[in-house]
A = this chain, B = another copy of it.
Amino acid sequence: MTKRPLRFGLIGTGRIGMVHAASIAASPNAVLSWVCDPFIDGAKSAASVYGGTVTDSADEVFASGEVDAVLIASPTATHIDLISAALDAGIPALCEKPIDLDIVRVEGLRARVASSGVPIALGFNRRFDPGFAEARARVAAGEIGDIEQLSIISRDPSAPPAAYVGVSGGIFRDMTIHDFDMARFFVSDIVEVSAVGTRTFDAGAREHGDFDTAVTVLRAASGAIVTITNSRHSAVGYDQRIEAFGALGMLQVANQGTSLVSVSTATAVESRPPYQDFFLERYAGAYAAELEEFVKLARGEASTSPTFDDGRAALILADAAQRSAEQHTAVAVDLS
């Protein structure tokens, strides 16, 4: 018997909310039932394309009796309350990262999430990127032996507006948080964080005391070392690479090109067009796969969706990196 599509309430219709709206509409296993945004025009616009009842009140969504799951794509500061509301209503939620910028608030909710039995997933979409997922599966299959070194390169095409930098929580909580989760995707037993951050080009970072350039080194109990290289800009396009090194060899995930065409001339050979511009292009497939996996979680089936605890672990690593970069010392972490 075919299962009934999961009825989604989407909360937040900004850039990432619209990505999820499209994924829900495209999935045979999901349907957009309610669309909520305090900016009601945003909700209306989303609903006009992808369907759903419109509201500016999240409470109305939870109370509607017409949603089987919520997708929380609203500003970070609202995540904790919305997850709480989902727990109250007993409705599974897929929440965008990060859970919150304040680990105290995260820890405050943790026990309740654990005891509630309500599935809460975190939007670490990169776990569902075909390249990263394939690399991890091949590592797990032993193709290169145990990981001894993992390099994650993650550079955005250009720095966000200065105003955004000011409320972002800093590069580690805002941008590296994805890489921290990716690090844990490959290497689970991280015990120490060392970070170096500088500001070399971005006025917003200078204005708000943030970094625009950073390297974070994570040490695992096993002896594995993870290196995360971040920059807030990249002339070449969105730079997203992973290299896993073990005793038997190396697995490399390359950037996604935008064309199969290369040109060779008297001055250069095999020049290819630049990489994809940004995450909407690079991770389009990952967002769709993320949704499918959450549908399984919400239905109580076996699922690999990242959890609330994955979101908490990434934030702990981000906090440690922030402290390490500020105090110029390694910071021990306990992710248990």
A interface residues with partner B (beta carbon < 8 Å): 130-131, 134-135, 138, 143-144, 146, 148-149, 151, 155, 192, 194, 196, 198-201, 213-215, 217, 219, 222-225, 227, 229, 231, 233-237, 239, 245, 247-257, 259-275, 328-330
Contact = CB atoms under 8 A, between A and B. Distances in A.
Contacts of A200: 146, 148, 222-224
B224 A251 contact: no
Given A138-B261, A215-B217, A272 B274 contact: no
Contacts of A144: 263, 265
A248 to B, nearest CB: 5
A268 B261 contact: no
Contact of A236 (B192, B225, B260, B269): B269
Given A192-B196, A231-B245, A252-B263, 4 more contacts: A198-B224, A201-B247, A248-B266, A269-B275
Copies of this chain, count: 4
Nearest to A129: B260
Contacts of A254: 260-262
Considering residues A134, A225, A260, A328, which has the most beta carbons from chain B within 10 angstroms of its beta carbon?
A260
- The 6 A-B pairs at the shortest CB distance, nearest first, are namely A249-B265, A200-B223, A131-B260, A198-B223, A328-B330, A268-B271
A261 B330 contact: no
B217 A194 contact: yes
Contacts of A148: 200-201, 213, 231
B249 A266 contact: yes
Given A200-B224, A245-B231, A273 B262 contact: no
A245 B261 CA distance: 13
Given A131-B259, A201-B247, A213-B148, A270 B272 contact: yes
A219 B225 CA distance: 19
Nearest to A257: B269
A263 B262 CA distance: 14
B264 A268 contact: no
Nearest to A226: B215
Contacts of A225: 196, 198, 213-215
Nearest to A199: B223
B247 A265 contact: no
A63 to B, nearest CB: 35
